Amino acid sequence: MTAIIAEINELLRGISMHPDLTDIAAVTELFISEMEKGLSGEPTSIPMIPTYISADGTPPDNVPVIAVDAGGTNLRVGLVTFINGKPEISRIDKFPMPGSLFQISSDEFFGQLAEKILPFTDNSERIGFCFSYPAEIFSDRDGRIIHLTKEVSVKDSEGRIIGRELKTKLRDMGVLKDMRFTLLNDTVASLMGGVAEYTLSGFDGICGLILGTGYNTCCLEKGGNISKLKSAPDMIINCESGNFTKAVRGRVDEIIDLSCEYPNFNTMERMISGAYIGKLVTGTAHIAAKNGLLSAAFSEIVPQFTSPELDDFLRGAENRVYKMCVGTDAEVLRELMDKVFERAAKLVCANIAALCLHYDGGKSADKPFCVVAEGSTFYKSLLFRDKLDKYVKSEIEGRLSRHVVFRQADNATLTGSALSALLS
């Protein structure tokens, strides 16, 4: 097997897919540079989108909020109330995300969203809407769709004003209340969910991170650093870090990118997130089969592997992946998967390091830099988390002498959306 691993490494380097080609220190510096450009309004792959949402303040008691989590796979709608500063969820409904199963029109998209929100409007006129896709946030906390990602397909969605469209649909359905709407990104919602759960005084800096179907980070920013805005207040910034373009990309990355509806968009997300890990492994396996490292069955994988079935294979399930393997196939496939996740962990570590350094956080172990993390790939993937922890220890703690902790909050996107609506 040692000889085969050497061949795998040679193949991956030849197609620029080997994790050794990702230098965490270099990527960290590039990340910081792109973030600074985003804050000043210069051309960049990290746009640093203002949210006009602050983490300061205490939510009023017993004021119900309709919290909406429009995710990459699912749509969740809940009713959230804060009691003594802590969130309580009295109801959650869950549906497939409109446009995730097949392409729909914009009118259908907003109609389906409004239809799912409608039963909650008897309880509240406040909506905290977590939107897991790039959007330009306005100072009135509504926002315009930039692109839909994560393979959600809605015709003519770009440029639509989300809250305005939803309120129009709800009025058409008979809702007479003046609905108050607060839009935020899923990563911002997760950060706010962490704020609702934890005492910020115990940390030296905080950011939000989502690694599930998609990928993104956000952070608290001083208004004076947001030079592209005049007299900006302190607020959370949505980095849109999944769009980072400065990492080394390989042949499989380029093939996947060209197959997407929006090529050259969300470049880093397509290198690490749950929506694309299966495609990365599938594409790499194709090339490995053509080079004789896997049997012929892997040169034709239809449909492409998914992240959950690859995880099941690693856990020993006798599923489709297992049944395709003959000879040394299982060992080779495991090695290919290991390398895909190794690269993902290095890229995520570089992003966290960049945030920690930019905000000068985590200077002591007693007050670490807090990463409020959410997402199925982050918590459920068999290979990812141990690799990330390894690089955080060696690169952030060891090389940079900074300290990072990860925290999770229950139903963070829902409670964070509700808190944002109340504090706004």
Residues 113 and 204 in one domain: no
Domain contains 277: yes
pLDDT, greater one: 297 or 153: 297
Q: Comparing 9-18, 145-154, 206-215, 287-296, which segment has the lowest mean pLDDT?
A: 145-154
Which amino acid would we find at residue 76?
A: R
pLDDT tens per residue, range 322-370? 999 999 999 999 999 999 999 999 999 999 999 999 999 999 999 999 9
Closest CA to 242 of 205, 280, 211: 211
Q: For residue 199, is pLDDT > 80?
A: no
Confidence at residue 263, expressed as pLDDT on a 0 to 100 scale:
87
14 plus 80 within the same structural domain: no
CATH of residue 373's domain is 3.40.367.20
Q: Are the beta carbons of 414 and 67 closer than 8 angstroms?
A: yes
Q: Are 323 and 330 in contact (CB under 8 A)?
A: no
Taking alpha carbons only, the member of 36, 66, 67 closest to residue 414 is 67
Q: Band the pLDDT of 148: cuts 50, 70, 90.
A: confident
- Confirm whether 52 is domain-assigned: no
Q: How many domains does the chain have?
A: 2
The rounded distance, in Å, linking the Cα atoms of 293 and 400 is 39
> Is residue 321 located within the same domain as residue 388?
yes
Is there a domain that residue 50 lies in?
no
Q: Looking at the structure, do residues 231 and 305 belong to the same domain, yes or no? A: yes
Contact 70, 129 (CB under 8 A): yes
| Alpha helix ranges (H) inside 248-375 | 251-259, 269-272, 274-290, 307-314, 320-324, 329-358
Distance, in Å, from the CA atom of 148 to the CA atom of 152, rounded to the nearest integer, reads: 6
Q: Would 269 be classed as within a structural domain?
A: yes
Q: Are residues 380 and 419 in the same domain?
A: no
Look up the CATH number of the domain holding residue 152: 3.30.420.40
169, burial (CB in 10 Å: exposed 0-12, middle 13-18, buried 19+): buried
Task: State the first-to-last Cα distance of the chain, in angstroms, to the nearest integer.
Answer: 59
DSSP state of 73: S
Are 283 and 363 part of one and the same domain? yes
**Closest C-alpha among 239, 263, 237 to residue 249:** 263
Average pLDDT over residues 157-178: 92
Q: How far is CA 270 from CA 16, 265, 353, in A?
A: 15, 9, 20
Q: Is residue 49 part of a domain?
A: no
pTM of the full predicted structure? Answer: 0.88
pLDDT tier, 316 (very low <50, low <70, confident <90, very high otherwise): very high
90 lies in a domain?
A: yes
Comparing 49-53, 125-129, 297-301, the range with the smallest average pLDDT is 49-53
Is position 60 within any domain? no
User: Distance between CA atoms of 327 and 188, rounded to whole angstroms?
Assistant: 47
Would the pLDDT of 151 be above 70? no
Distance CA 110, CA 287 (A): 41
Are both 232 and 287 inside the same structural domain?
yes
Do both 166 and 220 map to the same domain?
A: no
Taking only the tens place, the pLDDT of each residue in 44-100 is: 999 999 999 988 888 999 999 999 998 777 889 999 999 998 999 999 999 988 877
pLDDT of residue 2: 84
* Strand-by-strand arrangement of the 126-131 sheet: 86-96, 74-83, 65-70, 126-131, 180-185
pLDDT for position 150 = 61
How do residues 5-16 score in pLDDT, each as one tens digit?
999 999 999 999
Task: Band the pLDDT of 20: cuts 50, 70, 90.
Answer: very high
399 shares its domain with 416: no
Q: Name the average pLDDT for the chain.
A: 93
Which tokens belong to 240?
């849109």
Do 377 and 398 lie in one domain? The reply is: yes
Could you give the C-alpha distances from 138 to 71, 162, 180, 194, 268, in angstroms and in order? 21, 11, 14, 23, 26
Domain that holds residue 112: 65-189+412-423
pLDDT band at 104 (very low <50, low <70, confident <90, very high): confident
Q: Which residue has the higher pLDDT, 278 or 202?
A: 278
Asked if residue 356 lies in contact with residue 404, where contact means CB atoms within 8 angstroms, the answer is: yes
Q: Which residues contact 192 (CB under 8 A, 6 or more apart)?
A: 53, 55, 184, 208, 236, 412, 415, 416, 417, 419, 420
What gap in Å lies between CA 347 and CA 367, rounded to an integer? 24
Q: Which value, in Å, is the radius of gyration of the alpha carbons in the chain?
A: 22
319 vs 103, which has greater pLDDT? Answer: 319
Task: For residue 349, give every residue at least 6 positions away whose Cβ sits within 8 Å of its Cβ, in sequence order, or none.
Answer: 24, 388, 391, 392, 395, 396
Is 188:53 a contact under the CB 8 Å cutoff? yes
* Amino acid 136: pLDDT: 87
Same domain, 39 and 115: no
Q: Verify that 130 and 216 share a domain, yes or no.
A: no
Asked if residue 310 lies in contact with residue 344, where contact means CB atoms within 8 angstroms, the answer is no
224 vs 265: which has the higher pLDDT: 224
d(CA 103, CA 376): 24
Q: Which amino acid is at 26?
A: A
**pLDDT for res 55:** 86
